[in-house]
Structure 1
Amino acid sequence: MARKLPYSPGDIFAVPLRDHGYALGVVARADGKGIVLGYFFGPRIESIEGLPKVRSFEAESAIKVCRCGDLGLIRENWPVVGRVESWDPTQWNVPDFCRNGDIRVVYDNDSLVVSREERLDSRECRLLPQDGLEGAGFVEIKLTRLLGA
């Protein structure tokens, strides 16, 4: 019997930053096997107390998009703090990613499995999020750097 995950697509969660405060993330996809597609947002917030349970976010406003492990969510180090208002997964598609500076990686929109890879001009590839599977700690460090002190 599959266990119930403590999160689902459309959930908003708080990522503790390494120095102080939090960034917010949205679960856009989950493969049910430990991988989520997360969209992450600034600005830094100092406390998750009193956050509205439903919030408006737009995928285009994310400061980071990545495939990452769900350990932070499972262990509740990344607590679910709300839900995206009027959640519509078609507004939160899996973007193409860039690998090795010149390979476009396209993932299936539902399973997060690679559906194809193709060469791409390196200038275009640099505009895409970097491909890879990021651990929770790496995401926290990256967001801390992106949001500065």
Structure 2
Amino acid sequence: CFNEPWPTAANNSIVAYPAIPKKAFEAVADSCRPLCASARLSKFTWFEGEYFEAELWILNDCVTDKESLKVTAELWAVDQKLSSLLWETGKVKSQTNIRGITLRQQLPAMETDKLYLRLSVENFPEYNSDYTLIYRRKSFTAFRTHVMNLTE
């Protein structure tokens, strides 16, 4: 539902009466961008010692070609940069998705519960994408394995 035609107490719309954008409006607008940097992730929860992997993509729904883009991928934990890389896409043809390179990083022991992946496109901040992921310590992994063994 896009908007509410009259005042209501609750609804799933993204625009409240009378034409007041709700918090979700910007998120929906971002998801409808005609061109963006994107990451293909196999999961959203990562454990200490695992190799984090994010396959980079450019998603282009524009009707025109774009010149080569420079995409920087950075993996962060709180204020610590864990990894970064630069990908030059080459020409981006209209209505074409381009598979790029893969960011890989073994995850160290850290005192945090979140990882942040930031994809930045040089000179085009409107193409940027951000991801917030879950991080778990090895002790949690051992507990999870123990519980799984008990249920089998």
TM over 0.5: same fold? no
Greater Cα radius of gyration, structure 1 or 2: 2
Between 1 and 2, higher relative CO (CA 8 Å, sep ≥ 6) is seen in: 1
- The alignment's TM-score, normalised by the length of structure 2, stands at 0.25
TM-score of the aligned structures, taking structure 1 as reference length:
0.25
